[in-house]
A and B are shown apart, each in its own frame.
Chain A
Amino acid sequence: MTDLPPLLAANPRLSAWLRFLPDGAVGVHTGRVELGQGVITVMAQVAAEELDVDPPRIRMTPATTGFSPDEGYTAGSMSVQYGAAALRVACAEARGLYLDAAAREFGVDAARLTVSDGEIRAPDGRTTSYWELPELPETDVTGTYPLKSPSQYRIVGTSAPRLDLPDKVTGRPRYVHDLALPGQCYGQVVRPPSRGARLACFDENLATSVAGVVTVVRDGDFLAVIAERIETALHAAALLRESAEWEEHPALPDPEDLPGYLLSAPAETTVLASRGSAPAAFSHEAVYHRPYLAHASIGPSSATAVLTGQTAPGAEPGRLRVWSHSQGIYPLRAELARALGLDPENVTVTHSEGAGCYGHNGADDAAMDAALLARAVPGRPVQVTWSREEELGWAPFGTAGVARVAAETDEAGSVRAWHHEIWSNGHATRPGSVASVALLTASHREGGSPIDPAWEPPLALGGGSGRNAVPSYDFPSYEVVNHRLLEMPLRASSLRSLGAFLNVFAAESFLDELAEKAGRDPVEYRLSALGDPRARAVVSSAASRAGWGTPLTGSAGRGIGYARYKNTSAYCAVVAEVEAVSEIRVRRLTIAVDAGMVVNPDGAANQVEGGAVQATSWACKEQVRFDRYGVTSDTWETYPILRFSEVPAVDVELLPGDGNPSLGVGECAQGPVAAAIGNAICDALSVRVRTLPFSPENVAAALPD
């Protein structure tokens, strides 16, 4: 017996993964959730392949607690690496069990049967099918049935179109925001005007006298209104906001000296990794900064909840049902139960698709808001959709950070010793990853406590702040030191690529600085320190496709960035071509990725391309702005992102998988893109910009006086 994939070992019930439905379909219940990354299409391809059925037979059911396998979080580009591996084994088992049953029925050896679109055929021509044979008994997956060999794949490895896109492009109700249950009412929260503000008083009558207002809910510093209609809820919330008085105090660090704050705040210092012995001193050193970044999804967080079976408010808790676009329905269920004093068994969370999800955004928080409000109107579903200001102002951010990189080089300028040191908040405050209840509203309720500072996942799990701080190169010695902040002025959590965005930007910028000092070409310099042939291949390929070495005219520049995401996942090299006039314009990104065997090449390219455009936006424009009281960048005017006319051409090449296992691609381009742009700016302007974003101010500040 082979070792079961970990997710399968934790959820061994076969029926937790798939069921054969009477109408000739197969219901697949992966715990992976669609975040806009196309994962359900990939999972359907994997299931169809291993079962030998045509893809239209696969019906992907939305993940629901108590029904779907508990796969924790859909995050970290691990769906294909882990989720698909588990589903594949489960499907092979189902196929094998049916073949055994057919073999018994036909009195032939199972090995002599063939399957085509679910139809099982004996050598003499007799046929049956998954749907004609008796239903499979309730059983655990054993992992004893052989998996298809990749050479036989006919569905995996093809660019199957996304299953969810037709609905989304034609405007069918498909998002969590579109849920419209009988009797549904709408909640709107009046957030505090600043961090740590205490609600002193407000005029409830202003809201309750509005026709269509159901009730006002106040719990400590949490204030909200429920109304029959959303427009009424918005209107009443505005009245409450105007009437509310809050005690405010400056709770945030000085935004003018954010690096100073990060470098001096209380922190836990850890050596995350080291190799060889460090020199007494380093002759080269540079310091890089990144600001806080917002997830800034186009659709704000939303959830719907209903409490049933409760006779009166305040009586014994009933059953809570929640629809959420959370990345982790099981951890959310546990956290909601904890926050509301319910038995998790009495809470059901169903995943419902949201707008693009790039990490731990406000989805879980909105679920808590809806759940808390649902308690006030038992039996009635309450939908809460955050305002744009809540989404940009109150969802968790990708943390700001400082990275100091230092190196000692030999006569040829090659790195002998490397030092990488980080000062920032951690990247994990998801429910279940910190001790406190990790839901925004829980921290505002009476007796609620602030959310604990973000945690640092171990490097073996990909790390957080330390992600990609360990060099991707064969340096003889290195040391990686992390200073994890023990206070958290702005809530920080996982945003696409976590610490890799800063670390790769810093390391790859610094590498170019070293190459320049040594008078060496950045591509040659990198290749000389890369032994891994797959790493070399992406660097060489991106460089040659981008025309590395051919002259550029005028104010244009070219730069490269490379990393193997998490040091264990997809290899990605990016060449950026920029034009520096009054501001930085990225004209073109040429990207080469090696992600091993790719289940859906077009889907993977789409994700890499999207990630690269997003990273360009982060790198060139984005910065969460705040004053001593609160976040001030809470609309698209104050938090601008890249627009159509600013988006670079993006050319993505997926290198052949060569039989290597699948690696997630969703986040691999983030760091390399920022580095490549920074290096291209230096090529164009001979100015090294070490502070993100590459805004006109930061570029100007880097110019020599």
Chain B
Amino acid sequence: MNTVRVNGELEEVQAEPGTPLLYVLRDHLDLKGTRFGCGLSLCGSCMVLVDGQAVYSCDIPLWSAEGKDITTVEGLRDHPVTGALISEQAAQCGYCVSGIVVAAAELLRRNPDPTEAEVREGLDRNLCRCGSHNRIVRAVLAAARELR
């Protein structure tokens, strides 16, 4: 039995210690917001915050997540970036967006007043296939203004 702290709640998980955090979240804890995109640390759709750092949950084994503070997209529903993405209608399929919410939350914590170029660079680990990039960048900049 492993214990993880997700979105502020302590959760007990019965899973092999090597299980990727992605599947712990999605299937053991039923938090489907964290999406599977590649399982290879190459797309960002599975991003979560681990102790405030945006990381690929497909690449984090359960054992290494123990004792850490994990925040998923479900824990960021009140973050201004979420509202800004909706007001900008900054998605088409939306599949990439969970990871982007997480990446943007980290970005804005580190840099509350980013330039457009810094937002783009900050999101470069997240892939979007629908071409929603420019709207997403606008939304992150709008969220930054709101946060300040």
Chain A residues close to B by CB (< 8 Å): 35-38, 159, 161-162, 164-166, 168-173, 175, 177-178, 180, 229-231, 234, 296-300, 353-358, 385, 387-388, 602-603, 606-607, 609-614, 617, 635-637, 641-645, 647, 649-650
In the docked arrangement, what's the CA distance between A644 and B132, Å? Answer: 9
B89 contacts the other chain (CB 8 A):
yes
Contact of B121 among A296, A603, A609, A645 (CB under 8 A): A645
With A178-B32, A606-B135 known as contacts, the answer to whether A641 contacts B72 (CB < 8 A) is: no
- Which partner residue on chain B sits nearest A161 by CB separation? B89
In the docked arrangement, what's the CA distance between A637 and B41, Å? Answer: 10
Contact of A644 among B31, B73, B137 (CB under 8 A): B137
Q: Are A644 and B121 interface neighbours, CB within 8 A?
A: yes
Distance in angstroms from A41 CB to nearest chain B CB is 10
Contact of A169 among B38, B94, B129 (CB under 8 A): B94
In the docked arrangement, what's the CA distance between A519 and B95, Å? Answer: 48
Contact of A298 among B37, B117, B123 (CB under 8 A): B37
In the docked arrangement, what's the CA distance between A387 and B20, Å? Answer: 15
Distance in angstroms from B108 CB to nearest chain A CB is 15
Q: Are B92 and A231 interface neighbours, CB within 8 A?
A: no
Q: Are B45 and A636 interface neighbours, CB within 8 A?
A: no
Distance in angstroms from B119 CB to nearest chain A CB is 8
Q: Are B36 and A171 interface neighbours, CB within 8 A?
A: no
In the docked arrangement, what's the CA distance between A644 and B33, Å? Answer: 22
B15 contacts the other chain (CB 8 A):
yes
B133 contacts the other chain (CB 8 A):
yes
Residues in B13-58 with C-beta less than 8 Å from chain A: 15-16, 19-20, 23, 26-27, 30-40, 42-43, 45
Contact of B33 among A171, A602, A603, A635 (CB under 8 A): A171
With A171-B32, A644-B124 known as contacts, the answer to whether A606 contacts B89 (CB < 8 A) is: yes
Interface size bracket, B side: 35 or more
In the docked arrangement, what's the CA distance between A178 and B98, Å? Answer: 13
Interface of B is mostly: loop
Q: Which residues of A contact B132 (CB under 8 A)?
A: 606, 610
Distance in angstroms from A513 CB to nearest chain B CB is 29
Contact of A613 among B36, B94, B131 (CB under 8 A): B131
With A169-B97, A644-B124, A645-B124 known as contacts, the answer to whether A296 contacts B129 (CB < 8 A) is: yes
Contact of A231 among B19, B38, B134 (CB under 8 A): B19
Q: Are A170 and B15 interface neighbours, CB within 8 A?
A: no
- Which partner residue on chain B sits nearest A160 by CB separation? B89
Q: Are A602 and B35 interface neighbours, CB within 8 A?
A: no
Q: Which residues of B contact A229 (CB under 8 A)?
A: 15, 23, 27
In the docked arrangement, what's the CA distance between A634 and B63, Å? Answer: 29
B120 contacts the other chain (CB 8 A):
yes
8 A-B pairs (CB sep. < 8 Å):
A172-B33, A229-B15, A602-B89, A603-B89, A611-B131, A614-B131, A635-B38, A641-B127
Q: Which residues of A contact B85 (CB under 8 A)?
A: 165, 169
In the docked arrangement, what's the CA distance between A630 and B15, Å? Answer: 36
In the docked arrangement, what's the CA distance between A356 and B38, Å? Answer: 15
In the docked arrangement, what's the CA distance between A234 and B91, Å? Answer: 30
Q: Which residues of B contact A300 (CB under 8 A)?
A: 36-37
Q: Are A644 and B94 interface neighbours, CB within 8 A?
A: no
Q: Are A169 and B91 interface neighbours, CB within 8 A?
A: yes
Contact of A230 among B27, B43, B95, B128 (CB under 8 A): B27
Q: Are A35 and B89 interface neighbours, CB within 8 A?
A: no
Distance in angstroms from B30 CB to nearest chain A CB is 7
In the docked arrangement, what's the CA distance between A602 and B82, Å? Answer: 19
Q: Are B39 and A36 interface neighbours, CB within 8 A?
A: no
Q: Which residues of A contact B38 (CB under 8 A)?
A: 388, 635-636
Q: Are B134 and A298 interface neighbours, CB within 8 A?
A: no
Distance in angstroms from B99 CB to nearest chain A CB is 9
- Which partner residue on chain B sits nearest A211 by CB separation? B16
Q: Which residues of A contact B73 (CB under 8 A)?
A: 170-171
Q: Which residues of A contact B120 (CB under 8 A)?
A: 644-645, 647
Distance in angstroms from A238 CB to nearest chain B CB is 12
- Which partner residue on chain B sits nearest A649 by CB separation? B134
Q: Which residues of B contact A173 (CB under 8 A)?
A: 32-33
Q: Are B23 and A299 interface neighbours, CB within 8 A?
A: no
B144 contacts the other chain (CB 8 A):
no
- Which partner residue on chain A sits nearest B28 by CB separation? A229
Distance in angstroms from A316 CB to nearest chain B CB is 33
B77 contacts the other chain (CB 8 A):
yes
B10 contacts the other chain (CB 8 A):
no
B101 contacts the other chain (CB 8 A):
yes
Q: Are A168 and B94 interface neighbours, CB within 8 A?
A: yes
Q: Are A38 and B92 interface neighbours, CB within 8 A?
A: yes
Q: Are A609 and B131 interface neighbours, CB within 8 A?
A: yes
Distance in angstroms from A536 CB to nearest chain B CB is 27
Q: Are B131 and A36 interface neighbours, CB within 8 A?
A: no
In the docked arrangement, what's the CA distance between A611 and B132, Å? Answer: 9
Q: Are A644 and B23 interface neighbours, CB within 8 A?
A: no
Q: Which residues of A contact B26 (CB under 8 A)?
A: 178
Q: Are B15 and A231 interface neighbours, CB within 8 A?
A: yes
Residues in B61-90 with C-beta less than 8 Å from chain A: 72-74, 77, 82, 85-86, 89
Q: Are B126 and A231 interface neighbours, CB within 8 A?
A: no
Q: Are A169 and B82 interface neighbours, CB within 8 A?
A: yes
Q: Are B129 and A165 interface neighbours, CB within 8 A?
A: no
Q: Which residues of B contact A635 (CB under 8 A)?
A: 38, 40, 42
In the docked arrangement, what's the CA distance between A406 and B41, Å? Answer: 47
Q: Which residues of B contact A614 (CB under 8 A)?
A: 129-131
B4 contacts the other chain (CB 8 A):
no
Distance in angstroms from B120 CB to nearest chain A CB is 4
Q: Are B33 and A299 interface neighbours, CB within 8 A?
A: no
With A229-B23, A297-B95, A645-B124 known as contacts, the answer to whether A613 contacts B40 (CB < 8 A) is: no
Give 8 A-B pairs besides A229-B23, A635-B38 with Cβ atoms closer than 8 angstroms: A36-B93, A161-B89, A165-B94, A175-B32, A298-B130, A610-B92, A642-B133, A644-B126
9 tightest A-B CB contacts, nearest first? A171-B33, A36-B93, A613-B131, A168-B94, A610-B131, A171-B73, A356-B93, A355-B95, A388-B38
Q: Which residues of A contact B89 (CB under 8 A)?
A: 159, 161-162, 165, 602-603, 606
Distance in angstroms from A231 CB to nearest chain B CB is 5
Q: Are B16 and A388 interface neighbours, CB within 8 A?
A: no
Distance in angstroms from A439 CB to nearest chain B CB is 23
In the docked arrangement, what's the CA distance between A234 and B20, Å? Answer: 11
Q: Which residues of B contact A602 (CB under 8 A)?
A: 89
Interface string of B107-148 (1 = CB under 8 A from A): 000000000010111011011111111111100000000000
B96 contacts the other chain (CB 8 A):
yes
- Which partner residue on chain B sits nearest A391 by CB separation? B38
Contact of A299 among B19, B31, B45, B117 (CB under 8 A): B45
Contact of A180 among B27, B121, B134 (CB under 8 A): B27
Q: Are A177 and B36 interface neighbours, CB within 8 A?
A: yes
